[in-house]
Amino acid sequence: MKTYIVLDESGAMHLKNERYFVIAGYITRELHKVTASHKRIEEIVKERKNIPIKEKVELKASKINDSQQALFLNELYELSSVIPIAIVIDKDNLSKFEASENVAYNFFVKNLLKYLFKCNIPMLQTNEIELRVDNRNTSVKTLKDLETFLQWEFELMDLEVKVKYLNSKYNRDIQMADYVANLIWKKYNCPNEKLSKRITQYYRTYISKFPFKLFGNTPTLRQKEQENAKNIKKDDKKSKKVVVN
């Protein structure tokens, strides 16, 4: 039976004003239940926001408040056929990670999948995975990169991995992944966030942390590197000083 892994991202690798970058979503074999749940809650939220039910509008996490987002998330988390997942990247503890965002994304998705397989999740006992991701930040040239990359990585597992790039505006399953990604992003980047406390089954989320050994360390690698750079500059200035008697 095919297993679906639906992912979206929150934050960006290049932004310096946020420490954590997140790729998150969920695993399921019953995608229709997710889309049905989204449709049901969407009608409630549209009514609260005075949006006509038949009007086509994407209710992104950035456009709704925590209370409305919690409606979607609780509906998703209460589905026994859904397993919420995430990988959280501590950008301040990445040592000289200068890959392009596309390459970095592929790398982190691979690491998330490897972590999930180690967790022995029954739903991942399959020979066919369909990875569904948002196509918003993907160029035509790189559409096949992730699929090829993952097929090489998991070839020895007799696992077929297909990647579908979808427009979140027209796909409820991607919109649900957006809510999960934003939830995890807020949990790690916002010290006083309260959204996770509204999600009664938040504990069900499988979260991989990268880099594992340095994750959350303070002072961070970035701070140490900046301090070392300052000390080197100070030493250079001292060595260039000429003492005149």
SS3 category, 190: coil
Contacts of 188 (CB under 8 A, 6+ apart): 19, 20, 22, 88
Does the pLDDT value for residue 189 go beyond 80?
yes
Residue 16's pLDDT is what? 82
Mean pLDDT of 99-103: 80
Between CA 31 and CA 131 the distance in angstroms is 12
Closest to 6 (Cα-Cα) out of 100, 81, 94: 81
Helices (H), the chain: 31-48, 66-77, 101-118, 145-153, 172-189, 195-198, 221-240
Residue 92 backbone dihedrals phi, psi, to 5 degrees: -75, -10
Query: Is the model more confident about 153 or about 138?
Result: 153
pLDDT in tens, 65-82: 999 999 999 999 999 999
Burial (CB count within 10 angstroms: exposed 0-12, middle 13-18, buried 19+), residue 81? middle
pLDDT in tens, 141-180: 566 788 888 988 888 788 899 999 999 999 999 999 999 9
Are the CB atoms for 149 and 110 separated by under 8 Å?
yes
Mean pLDDT of 52-63: 93
Q: Is the dihedral of CA 162, 81, 89, 64 positive or negative?
A: positive
Would you tell me how many other CB atoms lie within 10 Å of the CB of residue 94? Answer: 19
Would you tell me how many other CB atoms lie within 10 Å of the CB of residue 80? Answer: 9
Domains of the chain: 3-216 (3.30.420.10)
Between CA 200 and CA 24 the distance in angstroms is 18
pLDDT in tens, 1-49: 899 999 999 998 888 889 999 999 999 999 999 999 999 999 999 999 9
pLDDT band at residue 184 using 50, 70 and 90 as cut-offs:
very high
Between CA 97 and CA 222 the distance in angstroms is 11
Are the CB atoms for 69 and 10 separated by under 8 Å?
no
Residue 103's pLDDT is what? 85
Mean pLDDT over all residues of the chain? 89
Query: What is the DSSP annotation of 60-116?
Result: -GGGS-HHHHHHHHHHHHT-TTEEEEEEEEEGGG-SS----HHHHHHHHHHHHHHHH
Q: What one-character DSSP code corresponds to residue 120?
A: T
Residue 34's pLDDT is what? 98
pTM of the model: 0.88
